[in-house]
Structure 1
Amino acid sequence: MNNIEKLNLAIDELSGSGYFVWDDFVSYEEVGKLVSIANEGNQSGAFKKAGIGKQALFQLDKSIRGDYIQWLDRKNEHKIIHQFLDKVELLKNTLNETCFLGLKDFETHFAIYPENTFYKKHVDRFQQNAHRVISFVLYLNENWQEGHGGELALYLDDKTEIVKPLAGRLLLFRSELEHEVLMSYKRRFSITGWMLDKDMSLTFLP
């Protein structure tokens, strides 16, 4: 299946079931480069403990989530980061043109889950951050095996879908869907982000 066919399928699945799994969104070679960049950032102190809530409601709570994050944008010096951002931009624009979602921008970050960490059931689109429309996760776990954990559970109306965090796999889903990151027994790498119905430069919006 080529990229155009996958794009069309992604559009259909997001409109129907609300999620789509896109294997090999990036190559295994690209995964290795991205993991190397994440490790460099982690060692240099660029990663910060992730919290919950937004602005005045922001708080750190390891009983809810245990990941560390580093935000990514066009100021990043690595070419491969720009290539990934370009892919997401193209995907956002295609979804917007086809599904009329009102998407205007996106935000994204590296996420590292240390061993024995998780992120309890939650939604990405909530009252204090109502601009998230489509969530996406690019998995960067080389040689992931059953028992390593770190799967994402999507809670749909009629079933629970378990998505394995395989290297190069992109998961797209509607941001109002309940989901959680299950216990990760090995260090877990990803790039997580959200397609927004606002311009990120409009920082005065909640």
Structure 2
Amino acid sequence: MLTESIEFSTTALAADARVLEQLATDGYVIVPNFMSSEHCQRLYSYSLGLGPHQWQQAGIGRADSYTTNSAVRQDKIRWLSSEYLLEQRYLQLMERLRLALNGALFMGLFDYECHLAHYPPGAFYRKHLDAFKGRSNRLLSTVLYLNDDWQPQDGGELVIYGEHGQVLETILPQAGTLVVFLSDEFIHEVKAGRRDRYSITGWYRLNTSIGGVVDPTL
């Protein structure tokens, strides 16, 4: 486990008015070089060093409707926790970003949850929404890519679709690229790749606590 202090920067997103304007106008934004290659390499190496027991098969749905379905989703995940230093540093980075987004765009983002995602060769995630209007407190989705030297022939792209099914963006999962989009607005999918693909996927959430229970099942 790394013990040195690791500092990340949110300058690329939080301080760039053009980037914030695109997020506010279009509902999504792609930020190349959000994180340095050095820091991405540390997170990538950390992911590679995790044992099989530290990953779980990703599922779909929530609470009583939660299930695994390999016809829809084939990645493995590990939820990040402040218990582990490198994971803690990333969570701190995204907390600073939360404050910056709230300050600039008044989004009312309450907290953040995220997990590492590992897509083995051939794995995919079919078209889906991260949230449904009126049924979730997930407001803003984020994806940070960790693989260095990813080439177009490697596949594994994130595809974001518009309201009429048109392709808005096809994003190569290149290390350091951050994608941010409204969770209940954009259908998206992860195409099958030819290499092991690592990323960190997360969601900024609204506070819909009832009786002290965060995001209760209604």
Shorter-chain TM-score above 0.5: yes
Structure-2 separation of matches of 1:195 and 1:63:
27
Q: Structure 1 residue 9 and structure 2 residue 15: aligned? A: no
Structure-2 separation of matches of 1:121 and 1:139:
19
Structure-2 separation of matches of 1:16 and 1:127:
19
Indicate the residue corresponding to 1:104 in structure 2: 110
Indicate the residue corresponding to 2:128 in structure 1: 122
Could you tell me which runs of 5 or more consecutive residues in structure 2 were left unpaired when the two chains were aligned: 1-10
Q: TM-score, normalised by structure 1?
A: 0.90
Q: Structure 1 residue 95 and structure 2 residue 101: aligned? A: yes
Aligned residues: 202
Indicate the residue corresponding to 1:69 in structure 2: 77
Q: Structure 1 residue 149 and structure 2 residue 158: aligned? A: no
Q: How many Å apart are 1:199 and its aligned residue?
A: 7.4
Q: TM-score, normalised by structure 2?
A: 0.85
Indicate the residue corresponding to 2:34 in structure 1: 25
Indicate the residue corresponding to 1:188 in structure 2: 197
Q: How many Å apart are 1:129 and its aligned residue?
A: 5.2
The Cα offsets for residues 139-178 of structure 1, whole Å up to 9 and x where unpaired, read as 0111101111111000024741111111011111110111
The Cα offsets for residues 72-100 of structure 1, whole Å up to 9 and x where unpaired, read as 02112x2x333322221111111112222
**Greater share of strand residues, 1 or 2?**
1
Indicate the residue corresponding to 1:35 in structure 2: 44
Q: Among residues 64, 67, 75, which one is paired with 1:56 in the alignment?
A: 64
SS at match of 2:102: helix
Indicate the residue corresponding to 1:83 in structure 2: 89
Mapped contact 1:6–1:22 kept (Cα < 8 A): no
Could you tell me which runs of 5 or more consecutive residues in structure 1 were left unpaired when the two chains were aligned: none
